[in-house]
Amino acid sequence: MGDTWISDLTHFLDDRGQPTTRPGVRRIGNHLGSIVSGLTANPSEKAREIPVSCRRRPKRQACPGRIHASFEPGTLNILWFCPVCDDQGLICNWHNTVWDKGGRVGLPRIDKVTYTYGFTEDIMEDSRFDTIVLNGSAITHELVRVIHDNQVIGAAGVYGDPTAGDPLQVDRLIIEHGGESTSIVVYNRAIMLFVTNEEFFRQVHRVCCVINRPASRV
């Protein structure tokens, strides 16, 4: 009977986001990281064998099994197991680590992204805001991946406090996907990032940063 591992991959990184060099921990981290690399390099909806050997040594003999891995349905986790010795586990927080090769299953079809942002003293006045519109080839795989990983689709709504800053910071994100549209408005994003640990604001911030890099302004 194998072990069950519940692993947060960030625990195997140093302060620079590189694989830790701590003895013992490094070996386990590299093993788990190789599982992430194997799956994200060639993603599949069903569990499949990846080019990673089992690390267990039952009865002091190397297990001959090869690891099988898949994305856990409905979550952002990776499940893995060895069909020979029943070693198994779950890996979370693996996104954008050095082992993440970028492959995903179930990526949304993004048709258009419109991002409007700026500062104003009048909540009804946004004519001076900058606007970025992305469609076609401008919607990169990285952008789609970040939207997917941060679960932005389905988070439509208005967030933040429009009275917390003067002038007022406004971020408006409209994502058109598969005939539907998700609209997210965040007031005073910078203040929210500074004063709260709310992960949603950090997720929106990541998406906005990616949009700003390849953008063509209108």
Q: What is the pLDDT of residues 132-188, one digit of tens each?
A: 999 999 999 999 999 998 888 888 898 888 887 788 889 999 999 988 999 999 888
Domain ranges of the chain: 4-92, 110-212
Taking the C-alpha atoms of residue 149 and residue 74, their distance in angstroms, rounded to an integer, is 12
Cβ count within 10 A of residue 1: 7
Q: Which of 205, 160, 209 is nearest to 185 (CA)?
A: 160
Over range 209-215, report the average pLDDT: 71
The answer for residues whose C-beta is within 8 angstroms of residue 151's C-beta and 6 or more apart is 76, 203
Strand partners, 159: 186
Give the predicted TM-score (pTM) of the model: 0.76
User: Distance of CA 119 to CAs 128, 171, 215, Å?
Assistant: 8, 9, 19
Number of helices (H), then strands (E), in the chain:
4, 10
Q: What is the pLDDT of residues 66-123, one digit of tens each?
A: 999 999 988 889 999 999 999 999 999 999 899 999 999 889 999 999 999 988 887 7
